[in-house]
Amino acid sequence: MADLFNNVYNPDVLSCLANLSNDEVFTPPEVANKMLDMLPQELFSNPDTTFLDPACKTGVFLREIAKRLIVGLERQMPDLQERLDHIFHKQLYGIAITELTSLLSRRGVYCSKYPNGDLSVSKFERENAEGNIRFKRIKHTWSEGKCVYCRASKDEYDRGDDLETHAYEFIHINRAEELFNMKFDVIIGNPPYQLSDGSGNGAGAIPLYNSFVEQAKKLKPRYLSMIIPARWYSGGRNLDSFRKDMLNDDRIRKIHDYPNSSDCFNGVQIEGGVCFFLWDRDNRGLCEITTHNANKQEFVSIRPLLEEGVDTFIRNSFQVSVLHKVKKFKEESFANIVSANDPFGYDVRVQGSYKRIKPSFTTHKEKGLSEFYYFGWQKDGVGYIDKNTAKKGTDLIDKWKVYITQAYGMGAFPSQVINKPFVGNPNSLCTETYLVIGSFKSKQEAQNCISYISTRFFRFMVLFKKNTQHATQAVYQFVPMQDFSKPWTDEELYAKYGLTQEEIDFIESMIKPME
């Protein structure tokens, strides 16, 4: 045993902890088991079924699979040790995402971080200190400052040997089938969600989970199940192709949707929620969609992932019902009066850099200058600027309008969904922080529009497209236009569209009154 520890690198656990990615969300055992429950249970009675977790963190998936196999194979292999050896050597495989998680996973699965040691419940060959849970330090492949596989920033992730590179092996290889040189019946896991791309002072991030799903599909398993952020439902950065492929794939037979991520991962808030799904290679059809709400209620519907005439996934059967009732009116979209991002053209960036140039404005009112709403206006008041500096949207400057921020974190449900709007006076402009809604003939019309935005109905319709903090023009696509010669209330809108009490109750369980 002394030779074993002398020949195996034993890292400082505190160094490993300090280098964890900020999105390495550990999967609770109960969630892992809900995902395993979606699989045909006869898989756990078959000694030839093989399982792969390509993103091991604690080994919870492999551990819970092992528990089921130990029971399912008992009649075929009565001897417990023979059964354990068969399961751990020939059925369970994992790829750890960091050195620390490789140790955690082996400890959780083999009861020893060194599966070739005497403490392992199933002992591997003396030269195999990894068992079937491998970790290989991979370096990114750089081109023009980005990794060609995951688009990570070279400035942030071109690191020395003492730091994790977060170049995950499963998605940094052209032929993933060569990792274990075998076919897998089931691929299951909770992949890393994103990495910084080096932009926006570290705030910019590119998704990774889609790469894990796409790579897993290339291996052609019989079943694929992963838990991922739900923001892919309506697109997002570098997700358009992934979203299109997923929503048009009728092999996705089950989805469990959690609008509040904390209902799945206790205490973890992921904007837009999370979901896990079952992809069945050999069976096509409608999808069984289970929506989990904050009251531990489950709403189940069996339907296609895309409704006719809709380009995004609708999360709940109540939403489907309300949308159909709204569409019968054939009204214009509210999005038609919402500006694109940066309505007046002040989002000026230095060429080759993400550093913005602030527009030149003053906080002192001077003759000839226009009101200018800039970031932080609620704290610092309104600035003043020469309206001739606007690069677009000049037709809106002298109109009554409504301003609303183009970003707002929804948080947990019930949620306000979008920020509180305010009336924009004629002769006013704003930075890229805001969108412009309108123009209107009078201040009263603008206020009537705000009364509509403030309704729960309006913000419920926004939810069809808003799964992240971004509230751009596109999220208003399914909101119907109204007559702004009068103010609006929820009661009027519920009656107009013929909503049932059950639908109303659902809306009000999701949307809180606007502050």
**CATH number for region 334-510:** 3.90.220
Distance between CA atoms of residues 232 and 207, nearest Å: 10
CA proximity to 8, closest of 97, 123, 99 = 99
User: How much is the pLDDT for 14?
Assistant: 40
As separate numbers, helices (DSSP H) first and strands (DSSP E) second, the chain gives 15, 21
Q: What pLDDT score does 357 carry?
A: 64
pLDDT at site 203: 46
Express each pLDDT in 411-425 by its tens digit. 778 899 999 999 999
> According to the model, what pLDDT value does residue 153 have?
87
Contact indicator for 20, 58 with CB cutoff of 8 Å:
no
For tokens 């940094």, what's the residue?
Answer: 172
pLDDT in tens, 57-109: 999 999 999 999 999 999 999 999 999 999 999 999 999 999 989 999 999 99
> What's residue 515's pLDDT?
77
CATH number for the segment(s) 2-315: 3.40.50.150
Domain ranges of the chain: 2-315, 334-510
Q: Does residue 458 contact residue 414 with C-beta atoms inside 8 Å?
A: no
User: How many beta carbons lie within 10 A of that of residue 238, not counting itself?
Assistant: 14
Paired strand residues for 206 = 195
For the stretch 32-46, pLDDT in tens is 999 999 999 999 999
CB 239 within 8 Å of CB 232: yes
Q: Cβ(295)–Cβ(310) under 8 Å?
A: no
The DSSP secondary structure of 263-324, one letter per residue, reads: GTSTT---TT-EEEEEEETT----EEEEEE-TTS-EEEEEE-SS-TT--S----HHHHHHHH
Among 331, 319, 276, 271, smallest CA distance to 23 is for 271
Alpha-carbon gap, residue 334 to 222, rounded angstroms: 44
pLDDT of residue 9: 44
Phi, psi of 165, rounded to the nearest 5 degrees = -90, -20
Pairing of strands 223-229, 252-258: unpaired
Q: Which of 428, 383, 376, 378 is nearest to 402 (CA)?
A: 428
Which stretches of the chain drop beneath a pLDDT of 50?
1-22, 200-203, 352-353
Q: Looking at residue 372, what is its pLDDT? A: 93
- Position 13 scores a pLDDT of 42
Strand ranges for 362-408 from DSSP E: 370-373, 383-385, 400-405
pLDDT at 17: 41
Question: Residue 192's pLDDT is what?
Answer: 93
